[in-house]
């Protein structure tokens, strides 16, 4: 059983000029930098990685390259969400075939899905692969909000759905997962401003793009909560909270790519229709980063 815990670092997908093509050497450098900083796992192709904005060929290219480049130094959690069950199954199989340790599934939809449809979607993906699945609840991006009761029905009904990433920003969901799941369902925080409370509620890890810019602060917060030092954890959390808020509100691809550029790693701009960070935003980001260095 893959032990996913701690700080799970989300990678960007670097593009060439005008958003054309994927810059794999830059992706490799960003992955090396994250692993060197001490993150406990790498998660390509999530919201930060603009997975929804890639062609199938590009998605395959980024998934294959990322898994190969991580080379089992830490576990990889590959986001395989897609609008149709067939495409999500294809991506999940592709990720597994290339060595992903875990796949993460967000039920993305155009039509509002019923609970039966969501369960069937997870079951079809679960039946098609052997690696663990991290169920991902993020209504802000998917338009689908899964209740804790539904999440636990899926966990109980699909053998390899073994962990949950919760990104609603509602701490009560985590308490409820802990209580109704009787402490048996590992859950992970996907909402940056909730990092402190999530660890206090028993989250096994924090899925975040922040380690691209402030890995040490993220890791120190995790270590302080593991050690049960609430005072230190609180102090560390408040130090990083202004930046965590900023990268979320400014849009993860835009803010993380701008921040990486500032640290000497050129990864291109987000892909349109997403704009790069504005000049004012850039100035604000630099000021926030300077206070943390």
Query: Which pLDDT does position 1 carry in this prediction?
Result: 57
* Catalytic residue (one of 10, 122, 165, 176): 165
Q: Hey, is 65 helix, strand or coil? A: helix
Q: What is the pLDDT along the chain (293 residues), one digit of tens a residue?
A: 579 999 999 999 999 987 889 999 999 999 999 999 999 999 999 999 999 999 999 999 999 999 999 999 999 999 999 999 999 999 999 999 999 999 999 998 888 999 999 999 999 999 999 999 999 999 888 888 999 999 999 999 999 999 999 999 999 999 999 999 999 999 999 999 999 999 999 999 999 999 999 999 999 999 999 999 999 999 999 999 999 999 999 999 999 999 999 999 999 999 999 999 999 999 999 999 999 97
Quote the distance between the C-alpha of residue 204 and its chain's center.
14
Give the Cα-Cα-Cα angle 156, 159, 163 (nearest 5 degrees): 75
Active site residue 122: no
Query: Which pLDDT does position 99 carry in this prediction?
Result: 98
Q: Domains in the chain, start-ordered, CATH in brackets?
A: 6-210 (3.20.20.70)
Instruction: Report the C-alpha gap between 237 and 100 in whole angstroms.
Output: 31
Q: Residue 76, annotated ligand binder? A: no
Contacts with 162 (C-beta within 8 Å, 6 or more apart), sequence order: 1, 132, 133, 134, 155, 185, 186
Instruction: Report the C-alpha gap between 107 and 130 in whole angstroms.
Output: 19
Active site residue 165: yes
Query: Which pLDDT does position 2 carry in this prediction?
Result: 75
- pTM > 0.95: yes or no: yes
Task: Quote the longest CA-to-CA distance of the chain.
Answer: 50
Do the Cβ atoms of 223 and 252 come closer than 8 Å? no
Residue 109, judged by CB atoms within 10 A of its CB (0-12, 13-18, 19+), counts as middle
Query: Which pLDDT does position 18 carry in this prediction?
Result: 77
Q: At what angle do helices 85-97 and 115-128 cross, to 10 degrees?
A: 30
* Catalytic residue (one of 136, 188, 204, 257): 136
């Amino acid at each position: 059983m893959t032990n996913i815990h701690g700080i799970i670092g989300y990678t960007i997908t670097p593009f060439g000029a005008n958003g054309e093509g994927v810059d794999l050497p830059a992706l490799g450098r960003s992955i090396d930098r994250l692993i060197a900083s001490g993150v406990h796992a790498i998660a390509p192709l999530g919201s930060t990685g603009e997975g929804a904005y890639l062609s199938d060929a590009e998605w395959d290219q980024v998934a294959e390259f990322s898994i190969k480049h991580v080379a089992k130094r830490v576990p990889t959690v590959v986001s395989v969400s897609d609008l149709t069950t067939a495409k999500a199954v294809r991506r999940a199989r592709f990720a597994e075939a290339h060595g992903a340790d875990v796949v993460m599934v967000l039920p993305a939809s155009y039509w509002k899905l019923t609970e039966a449809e969501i369960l069937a979607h997870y079951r079809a993906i679960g039946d098609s692969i052997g690696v663990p699945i991290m169920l991902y609840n993020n209504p802000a991006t998917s338009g689908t909000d899964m209740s804790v009761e539904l999440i636990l029905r899926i966990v109980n009904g699909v053998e390899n759905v073994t962990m949950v990433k919760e990104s609603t920003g509602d701490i009560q969901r985590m308490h409820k997962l802990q209580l109704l799941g009787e402490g048996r369902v590992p859950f992970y925080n996907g909402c940056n401003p909730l990092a402190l409370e999530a660890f206090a509620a028993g989250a096994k890890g924090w899925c975040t793009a922040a380690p691209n810019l402030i890995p040490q602060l993220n890791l120190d917060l995790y270590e302080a909560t593991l050690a049960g030092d609430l005072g230190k954890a609180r102090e560390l959390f408040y130090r990083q909270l202004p930046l965590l808020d900023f990268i979320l509100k400014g849009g993860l691809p835009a803010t993380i790519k701008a921040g990486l550029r500032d640290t000497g790693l050129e990864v291109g701009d987000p892909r349109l229709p997403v704009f790069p960070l504005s000049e004012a935003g850039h100035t604000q980001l630099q000021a926030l980063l300077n206070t943390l260095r």
